[in-house]
Amino acid sequence: MGVENLVLPNSVVQVRVESVRHWTDDVFSLRVTRPVSFRFRSGEFVMLGLLVEGRPLLRAYSIASPAWDDGLDFYSIKVKDGPLTSRLRHVKPGDDVLLGRKPTGTLVLDALKPGHRLFLFSTGTGIAPFASLVRDPETYEKFQQIVLTHTCRRVADLEYGAKLVAGLASDPLVGEVAPAHLTYYASVTREDYVHTGRITSLIESGRLFRDLGVAGLDSVGDRVMICGSMAMISDTRTLVEAAGLEEGSNAAPGDYVVEKAFAD
Ligand code: A2P
């Protein structure tokens, strides 16, 4: 998988795969070396891919590690017959992959107005940008309470997020603050589990807030980030707007921001 002898477009660089983990038959994560010049804000995404028949094939991926980390983590679905992920799923440590030079995105703290509590609503691989944000000390400087929700089809799909959250207490930068300020709420939709149901149903019924022992969404103190499929984003956005929150952007910070989980 070496790409040494090919001329790459200026927009990408070649980076080395450090590790790969297959979590289930449907999802895997990889860690690549971070070029010294590569800067990003926690929560952003970047193009990632491979040379396929001599041409770069890239997709937008959320960076799943925080801005201070030496490496770059990504969390991906494996789409059967997907042009990129059907190949990317086979990468191994020591292989080279292509990384875009320009990270970007709206799931960043800068796009939110100051608030008290931050809800991070995710489904499936949509947890990736939040894996970055919950390991960034700035998240805890800006918000008193962070609620990370992750909804997946099956219990096995929750493992990536559960491991991430379990590791926060020993994280070198947020280990002191995260355990006291972050609440993790996982639910599944197609198996029995302690919490079941789509995040939209859990918000709409008030079940999420009752389970957490907190008041429902309020536009004064709550800020929200949403990441999942297009349908999940659209449906969750409707509920968040019904609570009076207004969408923000890098140019005009607001009460909530959305992103799509990208792959194939
Ligand atoms: P469900 O099992 O009821 O489809 P996917 O892998 O398809 O992206 O789904 C990940 C999780 O997101 C699943 O638990 C799925 O629930 C849920 N989901 C799918 N569509 C929506 C939606 N429109 N709103 C909220 N949650 C959704």
| pLDDT tens readout for residues 155-187 | 999 999 999 999 999 999 999 999 999 999 999
Q: What residue owns the CA closest to ligand 1's atom 17?
A: 198
Strands 222-228 and 256-260: parallel
CB of residue 124 inside a 6 A radius of ligand 1: yes
DSSP output for 61-92: EE--S-TT-SEEEEEEE--TT-TTHHHHTT--
pTM listed for this prediction? 0.95
Residue 153 Cβ inside 6 Å of ligand 1? The answer reads yes
Whether residue 1 has pLDDT greater than 80? no
Average pLDDT of the residues of the chain: 94
Please tell me the number of Cα atoms within 13 Å of 25 on its side-chain side. 2
CA distances to 95, 156, 222, 246 from 218, in Å: 47, 33, 6, 11
Model confidence over 146-161: pLDDT tens digits?
A: 999 999 999 999 999 9
How far is ligand 1, taken at its centre, from the CA of residue 213, in Å? 24
Q: Tell whether ligand 1 has an atom less than 6 A from the beta carbon of residue 149.
A: no
Cα distance between residue 44 and residue 77, in whole Å: 18
The tens digit of pLDDT for each residue in 187-236 reads 999 999 999 999 999 999 999 999 999 999 999 999 999 999 999 999 99
Q: Are 65 and 132 in contact (CB under 8 A)?
A: yes
Residue with tokens 């703290």: 109
Q: Does residue 123's CB lie within 6 angstroms of at least one atom of ligand 1?
A: yes
- Domains of the chain (ranges; CATH) run 12-100 (2.40.30.10), 109-263 (3.40.50.80)
Assess whether pLDDT exceeds 50 at residue 261. no
- Inter-CA distances, 158 with 22, 53, 199, 205, Å: 13, 35, 14, 22
The span from the CA of 254 to the CA of 172, in Å, is: 30
Cα 167 to Cα 89: distance, rounded to the nearest angstrom: 25
Q: 123 CA to middle of ligand 1, Å?
A: 7
- Which helix or strand (DSSP H or E) is residue 225 part of? strand 222-228
15 contacts 99 by C-beta, under 8 angstroms: yes
Letter for the amino acid at 255?
A: D
Residues 12/56, Cβ–Cβ less than 8 Å: yes
Rounded CA-CA distance 249/238 in Å is 17
* C-beta 229 within 6 A of ligand 1: yes
Instruction: Let me know: does 69 contact 34? Beta carbons within 8 Å.
Output: yes
Cα–Cα distance measured from residue 27 to residue 23, given in angstroms and rounded to the nearest whole number: 6
Distance (Å, whole) CA 236 – CA 122:
10
Segment holding 155, helix H or strand E? none
